[in-house]
Each structure stands twice: as C-alpha cells, then as structure tokens.
Structure 1
Amino acid sequence: MSEVKAGLRYTEEHEWAEKIGATSVRIGITDFAQHQLGDIVFVELPKLGAKLEAHAPMGTIESVKTVSDLFSPVAGTVTKVNEALLDSPELVNSEPYGAGWIVEVEIDGEIAQALEGLLTAEAYGDFVASQD
C-alpha cells in the first residue's frame, strides 16, 4: 500500500501540494507515482520564475521504465526548484514527501481556493485504492 500523507492536497495525476506559507505551496509526486515509475534517473525542473498553469505540464520525470510529464496542481510562479534532484533524482523514490520535492510556487489568487479544487488525503487514498 502506498503512503498517503495527511494534510496534503493531491491530483489524479499523482502530484501533491503542501501549503508552506500564506501564499505558497511545495509540490512533489506521490509515493504511489514513484512506485509506478520505478527507479527515477532524471527530473526536468521548470525554471525559476516560470509561470505555471493548474493541471498543465511543468516538466518531466524519467525512470528506467518511462518518461512522464509532471503536472502543476496549482497556477502560480516558480519561486524555488529542488536542485538536489539534478544530482540525486533518486530522492524522489526514497523521500517523495520530503527531500524529493520538486518545486515551490507562489500561488496566483487565493491559496485556499487553489487547494480546494484538489483531492484531500482521504479522497486521494480512495482514488489510489481504485487504481490497484
């Protein structure tokens, strides 16, 4: 069973968003997603200052099995990228909710409204259970 961390919001594309400030979130991929991908060998990160659209591609993640798009769960501007992934992409496998985060984003508009449209941990857990 994949870990679903309480307190985060999720997408059906298996990204998570965590509120880290009044108007900002940290984004990564879920434990379920990293298990499905297998060993991560490369992460293409968006550029600092890039404008992201909700549910639109923001980069790619490559494993020994496949290359997949990374989707932004929210609209906003990239304020920080996890540069540790450039040298150690396997952090996504070992710590998908910790050191394996992808980007931090300053939200366009109200943060509560942006996160409200995403799945709760419980709803995401049910969604993942239906995928197995």
Structure 2
Amino acid sequence: MDETGLKFSEDHVWVLEMGPTVRIGVSDYGQEQMGEILSAALCEVGKFLEPGDTFSELESQKTVIELPSPVTGTVRAVNEGIRDDPSVINVDPYGKGWIVEVEIEEPEELERLMSGEEYETFVEE
C-alpha cells in the first residue's frame, strides 16, 4: 500500500479514512527514524482518545516513542499481529503495520491533517 489517500500528522502518524472509522499507524519516515522496532505497546479496545492521547508506545534500540492520536474517538480494534512481530511496522508501515482503528467522533479533525504531498514537504524541511 502506498501513501495515496492517507493523511498525516506532524507526529509522523498516518490516518486512513474507512467510513466512520479510521486506521492509524506510524509513517514510513517515522519508522525509519526509529530503526528496528522491537516492541509495540497497544492501548485497550474501547479506550476513548482525544488528540494528543497516546494510542501506542513503540520501542526500538535507539528510542521509545509515544504515538499521539490525531483524532477524537473510541478504539475499536488493535493490530494484535504487531504485538508478536513489531518489525512488520518497519517492513509495511502503511499495510500490515497499522496500529489501531478508531471510530471517530469529529470527522472535521481529518481536515487539519496533511496530505501525503504536504507531509513529504514537511519531513524534508
């Protein structure tokens, strides 16, 4: 999967709109900066998130980062596959490496996120 149709936050988090829910993960740039991801802590299904709330904590040899939610809503699914094999985030960040699915409450929040092109410009600066 490529970046087409994805929205991005300044925290290197991507969002894919899927009707009333969104799928969220870490961008290719974000995972590259971290290096090999060794573990992924996921929030609970049913957790209510507001923008800035942590939905996942990723650990690599270099660092631990908390990923802040770009949207308001309730976590409906977490990617159990990355608990067992977090390196899939490095290999396929926009596909199998997704992290959570959130039922969004305020769809207009998505309009504040960057397009793929805007994000590429952002990371180059």
Q: Which TM-score band applies after superposition, normalised by the shorter structure?
A: over 0.9
TM-score w.r.t. structure 1 length? Answer: 0.90
Instruction: Show the counterpart of 1:119.
Output: 114
Tell me the alpha carbon deviations over residues 53-79 of structure 1, each in whole angstroms, 9 at most, x when there is no partner: 113222210001110011111110000
Letter in 2 for 1:11: S
Which of 22, 31, 35 is the equivalent residue of 2:32? 35
Instruction: Show the counterpart of 2:83.
Output: 86
After the TM superposition, list the runs of 4 or more consecutive aligned residues in structure 1 that deviate by more than 4 angstroms.
Answer: none
Instruction: Report if aligned partners of 1:52, 1:75 keep a CA contact under 8 Å in 2.
Output: yes
Distance 1:59 1:16 in 2: 13
Letter in 2 for 1:129: E
Distance 1:67 1:74 in 2: 22
Distance 2:56 2:123 in 1: 23
Counterpart secondary structure, 2:45: coil
Q: Give the CA deviation at 1:27.
A: 0.1
Instruction: Show the counterpart of 2:67.
Output: 70
Q: Structure 1 regions of 5+ residues with no counterpart? A: none
Structure with the largest fraction of strand: 2
Aligned residues: 124
Q: Structure 2 regions of 5+ residues with no counterpart? A: none
Which of 9, 34, 39 is the equivalent residue of 1:11? 9
Distance 2:113 2:26 in 1: 14
Distance 2:117 2:56 in 1: 27
Instruction: Report if aligned partners of 1:60, 1:68 keep a CA contact under 8 Å in 2.
Output: yes
